[in-house]
Amino acid sequence: MSIVGDLKIARPHIVCIGGGTGLSVILRGLKKLPVEITAIVTVADDGGSSGRLRNDLQMPPPGDIRNVLIALADTEPLLESIFQYRFENGEGLKGHTLGNLMIAALKEITGDFTRAVKEMSRVLAVRGRVLPASEQDVTLIAEMMDGTIVKGESQIPKMGKKIRRVFLHPPEPRPLEEAVQAIADADGIVVGPGSLYTSILPNLLVKDMTESIRASQACKIYVCNVMTQPGETDHFTASDHVRAIYDHVGEQLFDYVIVNDEVPPLEIQKRYAKSNQCMVKPDIKQIHKMGCQVLADNLLLYQSVLRHDADRISRHIVRLVQERLRQLQSG
């Protein structure tokens, strides 16, 4: 095995694709490990502070990008608190997050959103790269099972109806070339966790994104959510998540699906049931039928809400990627 090959296994390049919340959890774990990280983040958000800046300044929404930047930042807790601070008062300011405003200001100064994100990455000493999936103005649209058409990422879960499909307008928006190249250069590609229809799929529907993933020799991993989401994945099993992705972009996209097989305590289940949420059941046999290997483990971290155990899942991801690299090098 070559010295270059040994170094690649020791420090693989992992591309993570998703939205601001679920993706941030995984990134906080991965940044502690010896890996090169590129995060590709959705730009379909149209609610809250992001939506207002998007409309007022004709820029991609910064909110998901902001959360990912903070997840990868190597900075003081006070600066993180400042960056995430949301104004509660003030005409025009109420509801805005300071970090969103800072990214918007940098976009105005540099004249380019991606450059603004890179400059903010430097300010925050981000470990890795953070890239928007596209710089094009896109709208996420859903068609419900009853034929209803809903426009806007923030409006889709509010309908309370089962989703048939989602699509982007304009269709197949131009990808950021740097994002496509990152996928081509990756040793591992991780999709999720995160909102299936409003965070994960908007990335995969960008032109050339899925084709680039499928063409790559990297280890391709889908990290399934631990709980269902009202208005998006009500009563979904793990295989239902994978099936929804495959129905949109075609099959045989993932090598592995990582699922949680730990049942939360009854009192936590009852609390989530009040919000019409339940545990995503790890129906492993159904996932195997789709041609994916399954890694099932206790991935739960009990905080104010249930989250993936970032450290444990990150170790699983790195191990799978390193195993693939060894296989490729051994021929």
- Whole-angstrom distance, CA of residue 249 vs CA of residue 77: 40
What is the CATH number that goes with domain 3-43+133-330? 3.40.50.10680
In this predicted structure, the answer to whether residue 1 has a pLDDT above a threshold of 50 is no
How large is the average pLDDT for residues 211-215? 98
Task: Give me the pLDDT at residue 7, please.
Answer: 62
In this predicted structure, the answer to whether residue 75 has a pLDDT above a threshold of 60 is yes
**Reduced 3-state DSSP string for 162-220:** CEEEEEEECCCCCCCHHHHHHHHHCCEEEECCCCHHHHHHHHHCCCCHHHHHHHCCCEE
The boundaries of every CATH 3.40.50.10680 domain in the chain are: 3-43+133-330
Q: At residue 190, what is the residue type?
A: V
In this predicted structure, the answer to whether residue 4 has a pLDDT above a threshold of 70 is no
Per-residue pLDDT tens over the stretch 125-139? 999 999 999 999 999
The mean of the pLDDT values for the chain is: 95
Cβ contact 124:135 at 8 Å: no
Share of the chain above pLDDT 90, in %: 90
In this predicted structure, the answer to whether residue 199 has a pLDDT above a threshold of 70 is yes
pTM: 0.96
In this predicted structure, the answer to whether residue 25 has a pLDDT above a threshold of 80 is yes
Q: Name which of 105, 175, 107 is nearest 138 in CA terms.
A: 175
